[in-house]
Amino acid sequence: QVQLVESGGGLVQAGGSLRLSCAASGRTFSAYAMGWFRQTPGKERAFVARISRGAGDTYYTDSVKDRFTISRDDAKNTVYLQMSRLKPEDTAVYYCVATTNGGTIYYQTTYDYWGRGTQVTVSQ
């Protein structure tokens, strides 16, 4: 069992930056691929980014490439999402996820564990 707790959300102006953190407890953090999804009202949760275990290969949805960076610190059991040049359309609840499964990285069902989410609001 893994518990995930997100932090770092908030209100920021367009063009600004935020860094989300996700602290994990429970089983061996380094064994998990970690990622982020986001959700806006009335829509399904959507893939944002993922970092693999070990060497840390990274993947991003097209809309955040070159603006967001996912990273992990296995010594601290934490995964980060550095968000820059934020846009109003980035406004969402951001969820941290974890998995040891294979499967398509863009699908919610690939991920076994979810945090409760943190709100990010980007104003005009």
Q: Is the pLDDT of residue 8 over 80?
A: yes
pLDDT digits (tens, 9 = 90+) for 58-95: 999 999 999 999 999 999 999 999 999 999 999 999 99
Q: Is the pLDDT of residue 42 over 80?
A: yes
The pLDDT of residue 84 is 98
Contacts of 37 (CB under 8 A, 6+ apart): 45, 46, 47, 48, 94, 95, 97, 108, 111
The pLDDT of residue 54 is 79
Q: What SS3 class is residue 47?
A: strand
pLDDT digits (tens, 9 = 90+) for 88-117: 999 999 999 999 987 888 999 999 999 999
